[in-house]
Amino acid sequence: MSNSISQYWVRLFIKLIFSISHLATQDLMETQEEVKEEGVGYVVMRNLFSRETDFKMRTVKKSRETSLRESAERLALSRKKEEFQKKMNPDSLTHPPEFIVKPCGQTVWEGKSVTLHCTVAGWPKPRVSWYKNNVLIDAKAHPEKYFTESQYNMHSLEIKNCSFSDTAGYRISALNVKGESSAFAPVIIKSEYFTFLKWISNLKLFLNNVLRALRIKLTTIIDKFDVSFGREGETMSLGCTVIVYPTVKRYQPEIVWYRNGVILSPSKWVHMHWSGEQATLTLVHLNKEDEGLYTLRVNTKSGFDTHSAYVFVRDADVEEEGVPVAPLDVRCHDANKDYVVVTWKQPAVEGSSSIIGYFIDRLEVGTHHWTQCNDTLVKYARFPITGLTEGRSYTFRVRALNNFGVSRPSRASDPVVAMDPSDRARLRAGPSAPWTGMIKFTEEDPTVGVVPGPPTDLAVTEATKSYVVLSWKPPIQRGHEGVMYYVEKCLVGTETWQRVNTGMPGKSPRFALFDLAEGKSYSFRVRSCNSAGVGEPSEETGATTVGDRLDLPSVPGPVIPIRNTDTSVVVCWGASKEVKNLVGYYIEVSVNGSGVWVPCNNKPVKGTRFVCHGLSTGDKCVFRVKAVNAAGYSGSSAESEACIVQASIGEYCFHPKIKILPPTGVTLLERVRDYMVLSWQAPAKTGGADIRGYYLDYRTVKDGVTSKWHEINLQTVTGTSYKVTDLKENIFYQFQVRAVNRAGISESSIPTVPLECKEWTVAVPGPPHGLRVQEVRKDSMVLLWEPPMFSGRSPVTGYYVDYKEENEQNVRRLFTHNSFFCLIKLTGLQEGVSYRLRIHAKNVAGVGGPSKKTDAILAETRPGTNEIVVDVNDDGVISLIFECSDLKEDSQFVWSKNYKAFTDTSRLTVQTSGGKSRAIFNDPSLEDLGIYSCVVTNTDGVSASYTLTEEGLKRLLDISRDHQFPIIPFKSEMAIELQEKGRVRLWAEVAKFTSNCQVEYVFNDNIIHEGKKYTMNFNKTTGIIEMFMDSLEVTDEGTFTFNLVDGKATGRISLVLIGEEFAELQKKSEFERAEWVRRQGTLSLHCPHFVEYLSFKVTPECDVHLKCKVGNIKPATEIAWFKDGIEIEEDDEDAKKIKKSDEISKKDAGVYEVKLKDERGKDKTLLNLTDAANSSTELKVMSTEHGIILYSFVVHYIEDLRIGWLHKESKISHSDRVQCGVTGEQLWLKINEPTEKDKGKYAIDIFNGQGSVKRVLDLSGQGKSSGVPAQATLQYFYRARVVGGLPDVVTIQEGKSLNLTGNVWGDPVPEVSWVKKDKALLSDDHYTLKFEHGKFASITIAAVKTIDSGKYALLVKNKYGTEAAEFTVSVYIPEDEGEKREIKGIVHPKKKILSSFNHPQAVEHKIFIYILKNVGNQLTVAIDFHSIFFYIVNVSGYRQLFGYQQCLCHERDWPGHFGTCAPHLTDFYRGTTLRPPLETQMPPTP
């Protein structure tokens, strides 16, 4: 019985296996049939559309009006249709597809049919598709298998004659413009073979695995090709044997070949062959373009298999020694009607000298003659070719040139057709629709040609030293014919446009310009043209400077070779940090000590890792790398360490000199039912390369028996903590960690103790993690950590820090309440002692477990340790600088604030150069306060920190301001002095300057230079600046300024010389000069001269005498009188009137002159007695303490003169603020406290009864008017003054704080100072002085005392004036406080002031009397005599005070001083009467 059962099971199993093989074979056969059916269908469809059919062509002639009318009707009908559709289907009604009824999964027997139903809603009506295992079901192609139906939003799929292969997941997808929705339904086909095996549930899984295994093994690649080496010009074949199981006749799998991930297609250079078992790829006439990673992929319906290997192509031998090898990878881009851009890649070997340029050749397809395209060498690996013939095909090649000759040409590029890109796209698209056989055309009215409009979107796409490429879009208005283009250029700074292509316009919307001047800037524009004419120009481009925009790549980073096999080495390097449009890298190898470098690759690679093959076993090789882009080659990197070519030993490969230690301190941070959180410490030594990540492994532990190690993560973990998920509850696990960097993978860490996966239920927090130590010094170090992952039942409130010496058992503990910043600085350590540290977290429930303790850390300051230094450069930029002398190749400076990574990079800019890193503050403010630290990676703990406080920031900002705007100091103010001959000297002395200091002399905002009028001198030995003027003229009234520039430092000093001061100085200068001239004449020749000049005098009898005094005359000396230039004879009436002046009248007005003359010389004098109105001087202005005064002088004033003042052509109304009048011969207008409204033109109109004279002065602050410079007028409006805010008197109780703020105005911003009793106050603990925003000056007196009483003043000053605002502070003492302070009959100075009475005469002499106490008839009095306090007690009544002759004490403990003052006090107050009676009532407080 048992034997029969066994036989039955064997037969059943064989039958199942046969069925499976039969199904697989049937599947393959069906695939072949499907291919055949698809091929037949294709032939039928092709014949359908290509079959010639009879057709009739009709010609319909329509007029232009008919055509336009029909077009308008069609357009109106389409608009109505659109409006109707919008009304019927507005956007608000549209919605994405939604399944009202989803398809249900079904299970049926083999050979039966099954139907899936569903209902879909949506608007617009969705389009549905059915999928089987995400493969689209084509029911029309397989009507015998599938049938689909869609009616009234109900959709169904019928699967006929179900087989076992129909078991799958079916999906229906509904799609409309609003979105897509899907629904799934599984279909299971049950076979009769398994009906009696329902009780064996695992058999299904077993059979599915068997079927899957059979399908995987259907395709296998054997006899694989290996890494291959070839030489240019040779032919190479790559082949593999492919086994397909089970074997099916005439079945051909899909064979796909790739090169560097790009599918290859058969071509002139690439041949592919399939022999039934062998897949072969033949590369004909190898070239460097053929180098790369080749991959063979074999695809079948059941799966695929791949194989890859690298093919190296070496350069052919050069024809001449020292010439470069051929360039490679020539390609054509942006082809147009007459234009194409050719690019290529530079070769790996430049020859015996560097490549200096390239030649580009072209060949028209169908010819055999190559034509050189460029006469000038091209340095970029990119060049535009112009002058092509439209419609013809071209190929291109490139040759390299160095000092030894020209290389062989590169492989020719693929042919490219010179044609419009739109035409090329149209040709690629093929026919759009079948021809209906009818041609319709309209008869248009004959019209003239249309001039094309301007091109659009003109831009410079490329700009190098050799050429500039322009691109644009054709004009919108172009008529019915093609357009061509003219290009024009204009040198920036000129207005001349020059046409570039004068001979023949271009056809393409691209143009390359050559022979432009390097370094010059040009603008460009384009015009369109056709047979109708030349259109308007396009918008011009911006200024384009001719020069290279692409820089050479920077040198790649350090190179690390790693042993691989006996003939290969893996080379890794750092990417170029500064590179644009990188093409790739070339790797070179040299046997150590030979000095001969050979390229490892002849085609650039873009990664930073490459396997160098073809090396000799046992050689000691060094490597270097250089980057390349279109601009050229970078410099070669530093040579790597020598590496022996031999197979690596062990599980992991390392660089022989890079030792990376394993991670340490794997700790459990948190555990729940199905996951655990682990942390660990980074390796202490990384071998000079950054850690790129970590790998974790785990194994289970049961009853002390461990399982195998399993990987946890396939992708590296970048941090030092990880959450391990999908664990089983109550199972014990062990974990280990490995680190990885560029050199390889480290050894595993020490496995953890078995850890049980179950949820923590404790109330205290878990252990902190991630302990790290920075800034180790001889007596301190900084400890940082991460908070615990598990905080317990309440938040963490603090941490305990345990530390102990290495060889001691005593543990010292510190507590920090700061639970937000997980850091502490340990101080007071002992130099030379090693310490270990650990952390406990604390919450309300208690103290949690300790963290993993750190390694032993030696407290020492290593030699060469630097601290962060604060620097303020000459531009005022504040930065933090940290230097490291122990810098490794891959070391980096990592800056942080408050020991956390920067989150706001806008606050700080980091610049690193060599071993120095600088953190620059972009905009220093209070937001930047904190602790700044810097750590250098890949070093032995090099780090430092700097704390920026508010006081430190203020100090740095002050230094920055001084550096940004340094001021040259002066020893003295600018002064003026009058010298001999009336010469005027302006001078100032500079306190500090260098030899580069330069002086600029300015008068009324205009720079003046040395010449006839001015003589200038700057003595750099003494620092004295001088300027001399031989004489002062009317035009010299204004402001003189010395501007100094010494590097960045500037200095400015001015002198305002206007008004009466200028007039007086000018008069003195003219007098001194005239006197000098006169003295020179009289001294040398003893000439006659005037001792006193002509003047007039009015006698008590009201007679007017003209008089002068002469000297050194003799009888022969002639004395002549003149009036208005006419000599007065003795018999004239004027002469009589001169003698008899009582008849003088207006008719006598004029200019009188007296002349002396004899044989020795001559002299003269003048007196102007013209009309008063006409004799008025120009209107001038003068500033006073309260405002400004406008004035004019007349020679003599008479009451008949009528004077009117005007402001902005309007008569000025008089008020308390604006007044006018006459003083002597001065006519004036006074304006108190002038404002902005008072600016403008002022005029005085003087009328004498016959005519009037108008004098005008412009006080608008702009330009000059009436000879008055603008600089002089500004001072009257912009002078410094206090505009309000301060009271006249302030009374405050002793002990309170007093704060007063005054509003200050002036331009420039005035200098502010506070004084008390004419003594300047300085800011200290008692006085706080501030000046904010250039407007508000405040003083704060903390805890005022009676000694603070007195007169204060706020002084403001700028170059236009000075003003003082005075106020009085009175401090009183409460009566109860005064009683407590009376000691030994002496009253304390801070007694309360009950009242005060002060005689005006006493106040004028600074004597003040204060009544402090009034008990009965006894008074206690304080006397302030010139700020010295005297105290008198027990005075019987007020009257006794004035005769009192004794003082008990005073503030300076100088009783005798009062005895001398008492008589004066008595004199001041003698006879003063106070009412009502003094004994009964206190006087009121004034």
**Residue 907 β-bridge partners:** none
- Asked whether the predicted pLDDT for residue 39 surpasses 90, the reply is no
Nearest to residue 394, comparing CAs of 456, 332, 475, 460? 332
Most confidently predicted of 359-363, 882-886, 1049-1053: 359-363
Torsion angle in degrees (nearest 10) through CA of 337, 338, 341, 347: 130
Show the DSSP H helices in 89-220 as ranges. 202-216
* Residue 801 in this model has a pLDDT that exceeds 60: yes
Q: For position 442, what pLDDT does the model report?
A: 44
Average pLDDT over residues 779-786: 88
User: How many residues are listed for the chain in this entry?
Assistant: 1486
Mean of pLDDT over the chain: 78
Residue 461: count other Cβ atoms within 10 Å of its Cβ: 14
Judged against a pLDDT cut of 70, whether residue 996 lies above it is answered with: yes
**Mean pLDDT, to the nearest integer, of 223-227?**
89
> Which amino acid, one-letter code, is at 1314?
W
Asked whether the bond before 124 is cis by omega within 30 degrees of 0, the reply is yes
pLDDT at 1257: 82
In this predicted structure, the answer to whether residue 1384 has a pLDDT above a threshold of 60 is no
490-500 burial: b if 16+ Cβ within 10 Å, else e: bbeeeeeeeeb
Kindly state the average pLDDT of the residues 539-545: 87
Q: How are beta strands 270-274 and 1202-1207 bridged, if at all?
A: unpaired
Distance of CA 1317 to the CA centre of its chain: 53
Return the minimum-mean-pLDDT range out of 186-200, 283-297, 373-387, 821-835.
Answer: 186-200
Q: What is the pLDDT of residue 1108?
A: 86
The H or E element that residue 1369 is part of is: strand 1361-1372
Comparing CA positions, the residue from 243, 126, 263, 221 lying closest to residue 182 is 126
> Is-contact 337 508, C-beta < 8 A?
yes
Residue 1415 sits at φ, ψ, to 5 deg, of -120, 115
Averaged pLDDT, 691-699: 89
Residue 1062, pLDDT > 90, answer no
| In the chain, % of residues over pLDDT 90 | 15
CA-based diameter of the chain, in Å? 185
Res 696: pLDDT = 92
Question: Of 232-241, 529-538, 1265-1274, 1406-1415, where does mean pLDDT reach its minimum?
Answer: 1265-1274
Say which residue, 1146 or 1115, is predicted with more confidence.
Answer: 1115
DSSP 1063-1108: HHHHHHHHHHHHHHHHHHHHHHH---EEEEEEEEEE-TTS-EEEEE
pLDDT band of residue 560 (cuts 50, 70, 90) is: confident
- Please tell me the predicted confidence (pLDDT) of residue 565: 82
- Confidence at residue 363, expressed as pLDDT on a 0 to 100 scale: 93
Lowest mean pLDDT among 240-254, 474-488, 697-711, 1356-1370: 240-254
Q: Which of 293-297, 704-708, 735-739, 820-824 has the lowest mean pLDDT?
A: 820-824
Asked if pLDDT for residue 449 goes beyond 60, the answer is: yes
Residue 585 in this model has a pLDDT that exceeds 60: yes
Residue 1210 token pair: 């309007």
852-909 pLDDT tens trace: 888 888 889 888 888 999 998 888 889 999 998 877 767 888 899 888 887 777 888 8
Residue 1065 is which amino acid? L
Confidence band for 501, pLDDT divided at 50, 70 and 90? confident
- The upper half-sphere exposure of residue 1001, i.e. CA atoms within 13 Å in the direction of its Cβ, equals 17
Query: What SS3 string covers 876-906?
Result: CCEEEEEECCCCCCCCCEEEEECCEECCCCC
Give pLDDT, residue 1452. 35
Residue 108: its pLDDT value, please? 87
- Asked if residue 1084 has pLDDT above 80, the reply is no
Burial label for 538, CB within 10 Å (0-12, 13-18, 19+), is buried
| Stretch 664-684: mean pLDDT | 85
State the pairing for strand pair 228-231/304-314. parallel
Instruction: Examine the pLDDT at 684 and tell me if it is beyond 90.
Output: no
Residue 314 has pLDDT above 80, yes or no: yes
State residue 209's pLDDT score.
54
